A and B are shown apart, each in its own frame.
Chain A
């Protein structure tokens, strides 16, 4: 019993609820919520160390033992993601503190972001499939609010699409849960995994797993990403950054968890389908990334490419590939938040989201330009930045397992990422400066500070892979040995 396990979800909720009473105090709300997320990050660092020392931790809510009650389980994989998402949320909140209008701040913006963080952290930590559904809903409801907050026509149009697609996928999720419960008689992840392993993954179970695949693909934007670029490029920039960094990653996490813990017995069906979907996602995302002139759409399509890339790792499913995917997952949360924040700053400065509307920003805002340059290199996977290690591991695993098509697609997509962002870099930062020194909008003081934090993080993760590798190796090992997880939850002593 480790009550501290519930804090990454509990703390944001409690602070968020308290902030509702402080509605009119925009700046105080911001500071309190940043503090809450920093504390959450601190707790997850502590949890990460405890997991290394004592193995997988679990907390049975209300003392109800599994498989009868709901529980939270912390292994290295989930805690690493909780840590990264808490840091990214804190940084995005500090960007909101500096840049967002006062009107938005008093419209329950901060409480909603905290509820979103609670839903994300809860999804990472839960050990029960129905609880996963609930945490998804907490996250999605907050995202509906954040998407419509700001009240522009475009946002409302995209919100209708986003809400309907998510309601449909939540319904699918419930149907899949009902099927699974009807077949296995349990929704505890470890217990379900144990039972699937006992009876073997029959065709019926494989079909159910494919329903789950559809559900999580919709959430993650794996192949079924048609809703993503529109809804990620319409809300205020902080919201886009949070969505781009966190929401799809929760879907990716769920895919990794389900297909490595429960449904891993028929890889020639499930993992092949995941591989095909990942390949098509890479192609579609790459085409989208070079097709648009709107820089927010380009950034949104970069999210899609990254999802495809991570799922290549799951499709190959060797220890090296899984490790690569985990590194890439962590990297992508940081780098995507950075990309969206920088793109948002560029749009605020030039007043247009079209590439034609901005030119020669480098002369006026060199720091912004070079931050964008580093973000670009990091996303393309240039060493020594954080995207490199994930790409290397996934590529070499693809070579080892002979998945040359996926390898080619993955590497080509990196070139497309580089090309799409290089195009933005060239058109927006170089070239003739349209705005003269006198007329340029002053960069609001401190706006770049959150971006710089993320720049240092991406450099830091790249250079400090050695320190991270201990945790990532453990995370990959747990994912590939479901027995460890099952034993930790059901308490069977070998």
Chain B
């Protein structure tokens, strides 16, 4: 199918950027404020879906050569590995820790291992949602 809607394409170019930024913001603000991997992942996935809707799937697949099935599997793996890691340091499964570091530009920043876990969840959500939409759209 050949979509050639100039308004839709132009608006979505800008909108995708805003949605992705918002998604990453939600993801990072996750562990102390409303947000987190699941919600951030959903928002990021909606940006991908918007791209698939406004351009055809070949164009987007060429620009983003990602196998979303493997992306979701990788997300689960990442979340699980972040749960396993503390087991090697004498902690319980899924135990988390955090610390404050002085980073060059950001100054004093809190870094938490839970972010790795949340990143896994976000990748899984993105993979699954986009995969569902793609499976439906590719169905003849």
- Which residues on A are within 8 Å of B, measured CB to CB? 1, 3, 6, 10, 13-14, 17-18, 20-21, 59-63
Contact bitstring B61-82, A, C-beta under 8 A = 1, else 0: 0000000011001001100100
Partner of B76, one of A17, A61, A62: A17
Chain B residues with Cβ below 8 Å from A20 are: 69-70, 73
Are A3 and B73 closer than 8 Å at their CB atoms? no
| Contacts known (A13-B76, A17-B76); A61 close to B92, Cβ less than 8 A | yes
Chain B residues with Cβ below 8 Å from A17 are: 73, 76-77, 80
Are A13 and B80 closer than 8 Å at their CB atoms? yes
Are B87 and A62 closer than 8 Å at their CB atoms? no
Most chain A beta-carbon contacts within 10 A, residue among B70, B73, B77, B80: B73
Are A62 and B70 closer than 8 Å at their CB atoms? no
Are B92 and A63 closer than 8 Å at their CB atoms? yes
Q: List 6 A-B contacts (CB under 8 A).
A: A13-B80, A17-B73, A17-B76, A18-B77, A62-B92, A62-B96
- The answer to the question of B93 belonging to the interface, with a C-beta cut-off of 8 Å to chain A, is yes
Are B87 and A3 closer than 8 Å at their CB atoms? yes
Bound-state Cα–Cα, A14 to B87, Å: 15
Chain B residues with Cβ below 8 Å from A1 are: 92
Distance of A120 from chain B, by nearest CB (Å): 18
Kindly report which residue of chain A lies nearest to residue B72, judged by CB atoms: A20
Chain A residues with Cβ below 8 Å from B73 are: 17, 20-21
Partner of B94, one of A13, A14, A18, A62: A62
Bound-state Cα–Cα, A61 to B86, Å: 11
Most chain A beta-carbon contacts within 10 A, residue among B70, B76, B91, B92: B92
Distance of A332 from chain B, by nearest CB (Å): 31
Distance of B16 from chain A, by nearest CB (Å): 28
Are A21 and B70 closer than 8 Å at their CB atoms? yes
Chain A residues with Cβ below 8 Å from B92 are: 1, 3, 59-63
Query: 9 smallest A-B Cβ distances: which pairs?
Result: A20-B73, A62-B94, A61-B94, A3-B87, A6-B93, A63-B92, A17-B77, A63-B95, A62-B95
Are A3 and B93 closer than 8 Å at their CB atoms? yes
Bound-state Cα–Cα, A59 to B83, Å: 13
Chain A residues with Cβ below 8 Å from B20 are: none
Are A10 and B70 closer than 8 Å at their CB atoms? no
Are A10 and B80 closer than 8 Å at their CB atoms? yes
Distance of A15 from chain B, by nearest CB (Å): 11
Contact bitstring B117-129, A, C-beta under 8 A = 1, else 0: 0000000000000
Bound-state Cα–Cα, A306 to B73, Å: 37
Bound-state Cα–Cα, A20 to B80, Å: 15
Distance of B86 from chain A, by nearest CB (Å): 8
Chain B residues with Cβ below 8 Å from A61 are: 92-94
Kindly report which residue of chain B lies nearest to residue A2, judged by CB atoms: B92
Are A14 and B80 closer than 8 Å at their CB atoms? yes
Chain A residues with Cβ below 8 Å from B80 are: 10, 13-14, 17
Chain A residues with Cβ below 8 Å from B91 are: 63
Chain A residues with Cβ below 8 Å from B116 are: none
Contact bitstring B38-78, A, C-beta under 8 A = 1, else 0: 00000000000000000000000000000001100100110
- The answer to the question of B28 belonging to the interface, with a C-beta cut-off of 8 Å to chain A, is no
Distance of A470 from chain B, by nearest CB (Å): 29
9 new A-B contacts at CB < 8 Å, known A20-B70, A61-B93, A62-B93 = A3-B92, A10-B84, A10-B93, A13-B80, A17-B77, A20-B69, A59-B93, A62-B92, A62-B94
Bound-state Cα–Cα, A420 to B80, Å: 47
Chain A residues with Cβ below 8 Å from B87 are: 3
Distance of A246 from chain B, by nearest CB (Å): 22
Chain B residues with Cβ below 8 Å from A21 are: 70, 73
Distance of A163 from chain B, by nearest CB (Å): 16
Contact bitstring B98-117, A, C-beta under 8 A = 1, else 0: 00000000000000000000
Bound-state Cα–Cα, A345 to B12, Å: 56
Chain A residues with Cβ below 8 Å from B77 are: 14, 17-18
Bound-state Cα–Cα, A21 to B74, Å: 9
Distance of A103 from chain B, by nearest CB (Å): 18
Bound-state Cα–Cα, A256 to B105, Å: 58
Bound-state Cα–Cα, A60 to B92, Å: 7
Bound-state Cα–Cα, A17 to B93, Å: 18
Chain A residues with Cβ below 8 Å from B76 are: 13, 17
Bound-state Cα–Cα, A3 to B94, Å: 10
Bound-state Cα–Cα, A210 to B69, Å: 41
Chain B residues with Cβ below 8 Å from A62 are: 92-96
Distance of B125 from chain A, by nearest CB (Å): 15
